[in-house]
Amino acid sequence: MSINRWLLALLLTLLIIEVFGFASLRADGYSLQGVVAILSLPCLVCFFGLFLLDYIYCEFYTVMNPYVQEVEEMEWPFNPMYFTWLFNKDRRKWALYSTIIVTPLAIALGIVLSSFFIQERLSAGNLWWGFVTVALFMTFAAFCLYKGLFKPLMEP
């Protein structure tokens, strides 16, 4: 039942951000709520896309290198097979590490992609506070998705 509580919290937060954000769009420029609404969707899509890409990558390398399942201990720094090994040995830890790594990448990529939707009528202050708010939202979203979806699905 914990899956529903965390995902419901994330969906309600996203709904509030999007409804109030898009309702506050003005003709003379974007308000802070509008900037947050526009920046949050691409960031969330990028998070899911990068996490899925990481999952496919680890699954592919597991199939290509079956010896990884036999290795008992593996060091992390500068070892390209560490996440594939961790994917096979401890999926909860893999999901935690992947969430921590993917979140800043998704924020950066989402902001770059959202620049296609934002017009030139944007003040520097709104852009800065929109970025800060989206970074906080994405951290909350990553935490909710890890606790509510990834962690229960990855348990043995």
**What residue segments make up the domains of the chain, in order of their start?**
2-154
**In this predicted structure, what is the pLDDT of residue 100?**
92
Rounded CA-CA distance 49/46 in Å is 5
Residues 6 or more apart whose Cβ sits within 8 Å of residue 48: none
Q: How confident is the model at residue 19 (pLDDT cuts 50, 70, 90)?
A: confident
* CA distances to 20, 25, 36, 76, 123 from 28, in Å: 17, 9, 17, 51, 11
Show the tokens assigned to 135.
């970074």
Instruction: Please tell me the predicted confidence (pLDDT) of residue 29.
Output: 67
Separation between Cα atoms, residue 57 and residue 13, nearest integer Å: 30
Per-residue pLDDT, 76: 78
Other Cβ atoms less than 10 A from the Cβ of 75: the count is: 8
Given a cut of 70, is residue 127 above it in pLDDT? yes
